Amino acid sequence: MIDKDVKKIALDIKSIKIQGASNIEKEAIKIILKYIKKKENIKETQIIELKENINLLINQRPNEPKLRNALNYILYKANMYKYENNNKKLINDIEKYETKIEEYNIKVCEIASNLIQDGTQILTHCHSSLVEKTLKIAYDKKIDFQVITTETRPRYQGRITAKNLCDYGINTTQIVDSAVGHFLKKCDYFLTGSDVIFSDGTIMNKVGTYPISIMANYFKTPHIIITTTNCCELNDLKNIKEEIEERDSNEIWNEKERPKNLKIKNPAFDIIPNELIDKIITERGVYSPESLYAWVNNLK
């Protein structure tokens, strides 16, 4: 049986009311923890139901390894403790995992904030909570810098970034997506998060990231990824056959208003090849795509 609170969070993830790899991961852990706390214990017979609720969340965003990795960890722990008389050990382990994830997020942002100096100009695309936190940490250090954010159509997630940065007092300018070339050539960095890091340092991120990364390479503006290692996809072949999530065409043009028989494609993500990535900043340090590949292979 699907828990009603889990179902609500699943809908919020699907509709992008909850968006961004880190936020999706955090909210999914929180709701599964709440679900587990409702149970006196998770016995072997209830593992099936727990798995059903976990799969519902994972299936809302198939291109989110952070989400998969976190919920698979919880399922692994549930199986470990299924013969216990209560859920105290399971709940304790999940709460520790929550704390660890938050510590990772803060650490990577602190490392990334060291890039930013007085006069730095940054362009960012979509909304990444880690990029946002990095910029806020730099601002708290009294560094004088400027941020340019894209609108990030069709869902305008760039407005989330722009509003949050402006509310914090950060010097922020919003541009339409098609104006990127005009501004990027004057920027010191192109900063983004990443929904997926493949084992060779190739990344998947919000659609529109790829052409901006190509332009950044042309202008010699480093494309720097701010993420955590639990975003890594360990399967070497995954990026070759990864299916890109296709969003509702009504996000682009409402069916009632657009011409009949018009075809609309609305992919959610781009895959950005590793040769366009300058650095990948994680809680474990700063990697090139090549050195990240070596690190990931040591995990296998």
Question: Could you read off the pLDDT of 56-93 as tens digits, one per residue?
Answer: 999 998 778 889 889 999 999 999 998 888 899 999 99
Residue 93, both tokens:
């382990």
Cα dihedral across residues 47, 49, 51, 54: positive or negative? negative
Do 17 and 154 fall into the same domain? no
Q: How far is CA 156 from CA 4, 175, 206, 248, in A?
A: 29, 11, 11, 15
Omega before 154 cis (within 30°)? yes
Q: Which of 175, 169, 168 is nearest to 149 (CA)?
A: 175
CA atoms within 13 A on the CB side of 9: 24
Pick the catalytic residue: 109, 126, 187, 231?
126
Residue 9: pLDDT band by 50, 70, 90 thresholds? Answer: very high
Domain end, chosen from 60, 85, 106, is at 106
- What's the predicted TM-score (pTM) here? 0.89
Q: What is the pLDDT of residue 226?
A: 96
| Largest Cα–Cα separation, the chain | 63
State whether residue 206 is helix, strand or coil: strand
255 and 123 in one domain?
yes
Write out the residue range of the structural domain in which residue 77 sits: 4-106
* Marked catalytic residue, from 195, 231, 232, 270: 195
β-bridge pairing 269-272 and 171-175: unpaired
* Together in a domain, 82 and 156: no
Same-domain pairing of 121 and 244? yes
Distance, CA of 195 to CA of 103 (rounded, Å) = 19
270 an active-site residue?
Answer: no
Same domain, 126 and 67: no
CATH number at residue 140: 3.40.50.10470
Q: Report, as an integer, the average pLDDT of 4-28.
A: 92
pLDDT digits (tens, 9 = 90+) for 166-191: 999 999 999 999 999 999 999 999 99
* Cβ–Cβ < 8 Å for 161, 126: yes
- HSE of 123 in the Cβ direction (CA atoms, 13 Å)? 27
Structure tokens at 228: 């955590």
Count of domains observed in the chain:
2
Both 31 and 163 in one domain: the answer is: no
Distance from the Cα of residue 223 to its chain's centroid: 16
Whether 126 is a known active-site residue: answer: yes
